[in-house]
Chain A
């Protein structure tokens, strides 16, 4: 089971957002993060805990291992307000966290 916190994060543009994802058992570093804007398709941001996908800005970074993971978004831009999901791929079935909504403060 993947648990994300907080469910909602209110942040001002230009500030940093820190999102957490916890696994009920170790998943090593097999964590991916996705961004989903309202009405849009999910987009891969990061895989293998900290490797940014092609075209993803450097303000997005990931860290962690085992059961605790963090997605950090530095200097939030207006286009970053969205829902973020973590996903583990160390165990079958593949599972997602419930998501964190990053909203404008």
Chain B
């Protein structure tokens, strides 16, 4: 059974940093790309970032503006999102999600999300 469990959320002051984790089980983590998607309270979904199966390729939403870094540790089946210079409008539930795309020896993301973790809430407030 595929499981994605996020952690690391909490209340943080504007301008500070936070690192989110996503522990994965139930599939070969090192074979698939992974995404972060966020959802502000009462709002819609917003894609944040993607990382390739081997960590070589990373793409970010424009609003990230160099403040976030997506990374992964395939030996520990864990995805990360390092967030710095946090702003109040970064307040959201952050979900990790698996990209189902796979091709041998390459990065072939499907760029849709399945499945999703349960999310971790990040609140940026003074």
Show the binding face of A for B, using Cβ within 8 Å. Answer: 30, 32, 34, 36, 41-44, 47, 53, 85, 87, 89, 92-99
Contact = CB atoms under 8 A, between A and B. Distances in A.
Interface of B: 35, 37, 44-47, 50, 59-62, 95, 110-119
Contact of A89 (B46, B61, B95, B111): B111
Contact of B112 (A87, A93, A95): A87
A44 B95 contact: no
Given A47-B110, A47-B112, A94-B35, 9 more contacts: A34-B45, A41-B115, A85-B45, A87-B45, A87-B113, A89-B111, A93-B62, A96-B47, A97-B44
B117 A41 contact: yes
Nearest to A90: B111
Contacts of A95: 47
Contacts of B59: 92-93
Given A85-B44, A96-B47, A98-B44, A42 B113 contact: yes
Contacts of A98: 44
Contacts, number: 56
A41 B116 contact: yes
A94 B114 contact: no
B44 A32 contact: no
Q: Kindly name the residue among A89, A95, A98 whose own CB sees the greatest number of chain B CB atoms within 10 A.
A: A89
A42 B47 contact: no
B116 A89 contact: no
A44 B110 contact: no
Those 10 A-B pairs whose CB atoms lie nearest each other, nearest first: A89-B111, A44-B114, A32-B112, A94-B47, A96-B45, A41-B116, A93-B61, A47-B112, A99-B44, A98-B44
Given A87-B45, A93-B61, A96-B46, A41 B113 contact: no
A53 B59 CA distance: 25
B110 A89 contact: yes
Contacts of A42: 37, 45, 95, 113, 116
